[in-house]
Amino acid sequence: MKRLFDIIFSILGISLFSPVFLLVALWIKLDSKGPIFYSQCRIGRFGNTFKLLKFRSMYLDSDLSGLLTVGGRDPRITSAGFYIRKYKIDELPQLINVFKGEMSIVGPRPEVKKYVDLYTAEQKKVLHLRPGISDLASIKYSNENELLDKQTDPEAYYINVILQDKLKLNLEYVQKQSLFFDVKIIISTIFKVSFQ
């Protein structure tokens, strides 16, 4: 049932947002050199790797200087990137990941291998599900970049505080998951993005 929901929702989403895709693609190309899309290797269901898609919001090869993005003042973020990140528009291409079966509309956000390698056996239970575009942690930490910007060691804070809390919320989702709960998370995500 969840997979059918994902297929229908991703097709509707891609169709509905296709004009936005075109406008954002043009904005990115006019704003800075480089491709429209950015892909990054993430860990998905059962520990399998896949290429997560995003609209490119940083200058070319910026990820080579670090995985975490810190606040709106991160100099690696392009002018267009600042806005498409703020309103989570950069995440829209993940509807393609959902259609392909690599992701779900709702599920634990996928991490890079570097951080997944730190998971405990209990925390690895989140890998039993397809990763999602949104989850409880995405709603709670919609201001994650700003939180990291205030830290003297952003990566240590992410690993020891934010990531631990995200995994706690994701394990909660593993226990509570249902179509009704997914719809509730989708509505909360839309509300959060619209009024942040």
- Mean pLDDT by runs of 10 across the 196 residues of the chain is 94 95 96 94 97 94 70 81 90 97 97 96 97 96 87 92 98 95 94 78
Looking at residue 65, its pLDDT comes to 66
Q: Are 74 and 67 in contact (CB under 8 A)?
A: no
Structural domain span for residue 30? 2-194
> So what's the pLDDT on residue 111?
97
Q: What is the pLDDT of residue 71?
A: 61
Cα→Cα distances 58→26, 47, 76, 93, 98, Å: 15, 27, 5, 16, 23
Choose among 81, 30, 28, 34: nearest CA to 58: 81
pTM: 0.91
- Per DSSP, what are the bridge partners of residue 53? 39
Cβ atoms 135, 107 nearer than 8 A: yes
pLDDT (0 to 100) of residue 196: 63
Q: Report the alpha-carbon distance of residue 86 to residue 84 in Å, rounded.
A: 6
Number of domains in the chain: 1
How much is the pLDDT for 187? 93
